[in-house]
Amino acid sequence: MATSRGSRVPDFVLTLDELRAVTAFTVACAELVLDVFEKAAPGDARPRDAVEAAAAFAAGGPRTKAQRIGALAAHRAAKDVESAAAHAAMSAGDAAASAYLHPLADSAQVGHILRGPAHCVLAQANRTDRPMSRATAMETVRRFVTPTVIDVLLRYPHATVGRQEVGVVMGELDTALRARGSDVE
């Protein structure tokens, strides 16, 4: 339902603590691969700044424009590098953007939860030093998921899976985490 300002009425409750848990998950993933970007673009602090802004929110700080600005800047940094480093920068930007997950039953919102971790998987799988199999990278990411993150994910529709590799990985993570959530219930 739209209001006069064009915003929608929330479809469910999403607490600040739950939002912080989601952001902490995405930050943990981004931190795993931040070095991949920094080796490819030494001196470019945009992804690190985005992760730090997200981590500050996850640790109890307020949501500020630092997360939004950091997300956009890290995403721009991804355009300046290739492959694994680009995925690492995208993971950092998505970590900052996760602070703006909305309680709307819209599959696009799932990207705020899983797109950064999906980019983390691809950064780990494509890195030139110590590459991981995609299955191992997926398992590494899944270790950071808390029951709170799964509970939040289960409130949303399934991720929309596109043809791009990040969408495919996001869909695989979505399926795996939902299955894990049903094991807990």
Task: Give helix 110-126 / helix 16-40 axis angle, nearest 10°.
Answer: 30
Residue 166 lies in a domain: yes
pLDDT value at residue 160: 86
* Predicted confidence band of residue 183 (pLDDT cuts 50, 70, 90): low
pLDDT at 8: 80
Q: Give the 3-state secondary structure of the chain.
A: CECCCCCECCCCCCCHHHHHHHHHHHHHHHHHHHHHHHHHCCCCCHHHHHHHHHHHHHCCCCCCHHHHHHHHHHHHHHCCCCHHHHHHHHHHHHHHHHHHCCCCCCHHHHHHHHHHHHHHHHHHHHCCCCCCCHHHHHHHHHCCCCHHHHHHHCCCCCCCCCCCHHHHHHHHHHHHHHHHHHHHC
Residue 9 lies in a domain: no
| Residue 20, in any domain of the structure | yes
Judged against a pLDDT cut of 90, whether residue 140 lies above it is answered with yes
| Per-residue pLDDT at 180 | 84
Counted domains in the chain: 1
Task: Classify residue 153: in a domain, yes or no.
Answer: yes
Q: Does residue 89 lie in a domain region?
A: yes
Q: 1 lies in a domain?
A: no
Q: How far apart are CA 19 and CA 115, in angstroms?
A: 15
d(CA 146, CA 151) in angstroms, rounded, equals 9
Q: What is the pLDDT of residues 28-40, one digit of tens each?
A: 999 999 999 999 9
For the stretch 101-131, pLDDT in tens is 999 999 999 999 999 999 999 999 999 999 9
Can you give the residue range of the structural domain that contains 67? 16-184
Residue 2 lies in a domain: no
Say if CB 103 and CB 11 are below 8 A apart: yes
Does residue 170 fall inside a structural domain?
A: yes
